[in-house]
Amino acid sequence: MTHAQDPNDALFDHARALIPGGVNSPVRAFRAVGGTPAFITRGQGAYLWDADGRRLIDYVGSWGPMILGHGHPAVLEAVHRAVDQGMSFGAPTERESELAEEIVRHMPAIEMLRLVSSGTEAGMSAIRLARGATGRSKIVKFNGCYHGHADALLVKAGSGLATFGHATSAGVPEVVVQDTLVLEYNDVAQLEEAFALHGAQIACVIMEPIAGNMNFVRASIPFMRAARELCTKHGALLIIDEVMTGFRVALGGAQSLYAKEIAGFAPDLTMLGKVVGGGMPLAAFGGRREVMEQLAPLGPVYQAGTLSGNPVATACGLATLREVAQPDFHARLAERTRALIAGLARAAADEGVALCGDSEGGMMGYFLLPELPGNYTEVLQSDGARFNRLFHGLLERGVYTAPALYEAGFVSSAHSAGDIEETVAAARAVFRQLASA
């Protein structure tokens, strides 16, 4: 007896003949977990449907933007209205200012901003601006933090603290990354030593307040305080990458949470993406007025983009931000996300599987470890093979999570208590299998 080919397999075969790896962003290829990726045909609310007709509870959320779930009526209405008015103009529109005003209203550290089309573009532009504003070349980033695929950021640490980065991608000349210092996340002593050695040459420190590309790892309060104080002392700019956390973990972003714990805390520049576009290609970078005014056409730092501020993307983002700004939105979202993490932890403990997790707002992560890691080195202690079995076990039971150990997960306002219960029940069955293997 023969079985018909899974439509996902057929679609993947077709894609691989035309697109490198069959995907337009590497993690989608399932190389980390093995198997064939699910080709999605539609999404609604908290669910996706793949080419085989499977309904999946979605905890990827397009890697963060879909905080309202898929197909939210207010967002769809705004997008349809914008499309009817025109797809792209390459000229200013009032909606660009309206979106900027909405962002500035909730993030006091942003006095001016510029819209771009991707988080990568926001990151490369923010770094160029920091270098232009300070007249310095060196930048500090942290191992395990991802700020897009700009050449200067595709680096890893050298053998010692003061060793500059080495390219981790072919096509990136060593000369491009020689001014990039890579330090360990949450290591205050390393950061202090880096500034002691290179403080007068450092243009900026770029960091995720909650790292989402080593799963979910928070910056500690002492670490964030040290970053702010050292940048101020040495005249460097602090860039907070909120592409993932902005409007996702709190209305004022993760920076608003640190501002409650650190007196006077504010970044000099902020990167935004994902939620601010509501699922459309849109991102932003912004900060203090005197820094932002260094951008052309006012200043000497050049940055431009044909589709920046696209009218359909700004309509989508503006409608999304107005929904998440509703009273108690994030409190309800955080409660649902905490319920998921708590349920997974209970189920794992009941079945004798080591698991720990954390969440903030609608962003979450879990590790097959007894304790939460604080940096990338500790994250690497996770059992990758066991994680892969967990991923596929959940997928077989209709739960779609990130197909890689090092990616955070996302809950939307569309996820119901029933969705959480169904997810925990599926995980419990997989944990039972893991424990007996």
Q: Which residues are catalytic?
A: 146, 241, 274
For every residue of 354-405, DSSP letters joined together read: --EEEEETTEEEEESSSS--SSHHHHTTS-HHHHHHHHHHHHHTTEE--SST
Say how far apart CA 239 and CA 207 lie, in whole Å: 6
Closest by Cα among 103, 90, 410, 354 to 253: 103
Say how far apart CA 328 and CA 330 lie, in whole Å: 6
Say how far apart CA 350 and CA 105 lie, in whole Å: 45
For every residue of 35-58, DSSP letters joined together read: SPPPPEEEEEBTEEEETT--EEEE
Q: Looking at 138-218, list the stretches that DSSP marks H as alpha helix, in order from N- to C-terminal side.
A: 174-177, 188-198
Residue 69: enclosing H or E segment and its boundaries? none
Closest by Cα among 102, 124, 436, 227 to 113: 102
CA angle 6, 10, 12 (to 5 degrees): 110
Say how far apart CA 375 and CA 406 lie, in whole Å: 12
Say how far apart CA 108 and CA 252 lie, in whole Å: 8
Q: Which residue has the tokens 């103009």?
A: 89
Percentages helix, strand, coil for the chain (3-state, rounded to 5) are 45, 20, 40
Closest by Cα among 180, 177, 134 to 287: 134
